[in-house]
Every structure is written in C-alpha cells, then in structure tokens.
Structure 1
Amino acid sequence: MTLEQFTPEEGQVARRYEYDDSTVMAVDFGTEEADASVDVVDDTVIVVLADDQYEIELPANSENPHTFIKNGVLTVELEEEL
C-alpha cells in the first residue's frame, strides 16, 4: 500500500500499522470532510470527498478489506492471508 501517493501534496496525515495478523492504515482527511464516502472495488479503495476522488491500491493478497470513514478519518483494515 502506498500512502505517499496522495498525502504529501494534499496535507493529509497517514499512518500504516503492521501487526502479527493484520495491517491497519489510517488517513486523516480532516473534520471538514466528515461527509466523505468510501468503497472497495476489486483491489482499490475509493474515497470520494466533495468533488475529489482518491484511489488507494491494496496489496494483491488482500482478503476481505474492512473500510470505514468517521469524522474525516479513513481506516482500512487488512487481515493477513493464512
């Protein structure tokens, strides 16, 4: 997952956390973007904020990614393939 693909120029804060059995990515788009929507299509997370759209490519071995956005913070949870 490449967080650097949109965070430097847009000013979002993004973090990636690696655990034994999962990976969690969090991107803070700011509270003014609280009405954003998120969806997963194939191996791509699509975030729509007003007139802007962001696409985040997931690793090819991602199984059942869980995504949600609350108060302008996008969270993507990926479970490790067993």
Structure 2
Amino acid sequence: MSTQQFAGANDRFLRRYEYDDSWIVAADLGVADDAVDVDVVGTTAIVVVDTGDGVAETEFELPGTDADVAVQNGVLTITVAK
C-alpha cells in the first residue's frame, strides 16, 4: 500500500491510498452527509459542499473511471477499481 496526502487552502486533507486492486481517495469534509454532492464524469470527481455559509465546489482527477462514492459522518470516500 502507498499513501499520498494533500492539504488544501482550508487545511482539509485529501488522502489517496493505493492497494493492489484499487485506489481509495478520502477526505474529511466536516459537514453533514446531505450537504455533500459528488458527481464523477470520466476520471474527474466534482465535489460540491454546502457549508451553510456558502457553497464550495472543487474538482480533482481520479486514477481511473470505475468509481464508487460514499459519504459517511462527513467523510467522503471514493474507491476506484484498477
């Protein structure tokens, strides 16, 4: 397994884990699950978060196209099959 970690301007971390059969991208968004909307178009993840003070949108590239998205307790997890 290998791990990469990135920090955004708001000091929230995005981590990417690589396993033999998949990649996992995880981010603690710190908001309610229903405040998060994620669309995957090709290899691009588009994440929209309603913080209550406004809406923040970000895009990032995924390492593949076969993605499964979940949000639980404010943590976004995207699993991409290799």
Whether the TM-score (by the shorter chain) exceeds 0.5 is: yes
Distance 1:37 1:73 in 2: 12
TM-score (norm 2): 0.75
Superposed displacement of residue 21, structure 1: 0.9
Q: Which residue of 2 aligns with 1:54?
A: 58
Higher helix share: 1
Matches of 1:3 and 1:45, distance apart in 2: 17
Runs of 4+ in structure 1 off by over 3 angstroms are none
1:38·1:69 contact (CA, 8 Å) conserved in 2? no
Instruction: Find the residue that maps to 2:78 and give its secondary structure.
Output: strand
Q: What is the match of residue 41 of structure 2?
A: 41
Identity of aligned residues (%): 38
Distance in structure 1 (CA, Å) of the matches to 2:61 and 2:69 = 13
Structure 2, gaps ≥5 residues long = none
After superposition, what is the alpha-carbon deviation per residue over 1:16-61, rounded to whole angstroms, capped at 9, x for unaligned? 211111111101111x3432111111211111112110111123xx
How many aligned positions are there? 74
RMSD: 1.9
- Considering fraction of residues, name the structure with more strand: 2
